[in-house]
Amino acid sequence: MKKLEVPTESLYQAARNCLLSCSVEEKLNLTDETASAWNSGRLCLSGWTSADDLREAGHPAKPELVHPRHLSRRRLGSEKGRLALIHAIAHIEFNAINLAWDAVQRFPDLPADFYSDWIQVAQEEVYHFRLLRERLRDGGVDYGDFPAHNGLWDMAVQTAHDPLVRMALVPRMLEARGLDVTPGIMQRFAAIGDERTVEVLQVILDEEVGHVHFGTRWFRYLCEARGLEPEATYFDLLSDFVRGGIRCPLHHQARRQAGFTEEELNRLERLCAEE
């Protein structure tokens, strides 16, 4: 495979190139190259330009993006249903690559560790996507063969104005919800004997705990920098942005590992009970 070169010394601009690439293979390979360039010191925190007008990430022509209500239920009683569910998870991971690069290129003047963390997330999301794509190809299909929705990226747009809000509502809300539901999905695949997909989902679950933890780390950092109390701020944001979206059960162990406090878990449980 021809090695892609990152055509800039600016991390911000290199991240934007990753974000805006519409080719699946190019986005994956550019992620590898950009991460390598950053880790070896070949990129610097200069050359930032505003992303205020950037409201769409690069994505391929397929999958067709539709409203969630137009997606069929993904029942595991058929091979098509099994592959459709794997495809849906792969699409989440593909969007998560874009979300990581968007955080890098959109929010300037943060510590270098902020960018290192989200570059690591981008790399790991690429790995997850490749694992899931392999499962699709083992079943005779590929990414793009099923319709999908764009809900995860929609939240990126809603939180584009403020890294504190992004950290609260993407890793600490949407991705934390992934920690809650993944064990149940694993059980469904185990019940039909798809142990390889269970193994893949376990890898993803383990690494997603770290991604949510990065969200916790930087959310609290930004709260401290602004003189805000983290727990109160988090629940105020949930109240403002989420109506009817807190669901149970929560994966308490995974959320604790990701930095949620016992009081946060108790308050989330109470919100679930009110649904």
pLDDT at residue 257 tops 80: yes
- At a CB cut-off of 8 Å and minimum separation 6, what does 214 contact? 117, 118, 120, 121, 171
Query: Would you state the pLDDT for residue 85?
Result: 95
CA distance 47 to 225: 24
Lowest-pLDDT choice from 1-5, 14-18, 26-30, 176-180: 1-5
- Domains belonging to the chain, first-starting first, are 75-273 (1.20.1260.10)
Average pLDDT over residues 139-153: 91
Exposure string (b/e) for 198-217, b if CB count within 10 Å is 16 or more? bebbeebbebbbbbbbbbbb
**Residue 146 DSSP one-character state:** S
With vertex at residue 55, the alpha carbon angle to CA 86 and CA 209, rounded to the nearest 5 degrees, is 45
Provide the residue type at 82 as one letter.
Answer: R
Cα dist. 45→97, 109, 114, 118 in Å? 20, 8, 11, 14
Query: Would you state the pLDDT for residue 2?
Result: 45
pTM of the full structure: 0.94
Average pLDDT over residues 83-105: 97
Average pLDDT over residues 254-268: 97
The predicted-structure confidence for 203-221, as pLDDT tens digits, reads as follows: 999 999 999 999 999 999 9
Query: Would you state the pLDDT for residue 70?
Result: 59
Confidence of residue 7 (pLDDT cuts 50, 70, 90): low
Q: Which residue has the higher pLDDT, 67 or 118?
A: 118
Query: Would you state the pLDDT for residue 150?
Result: 80
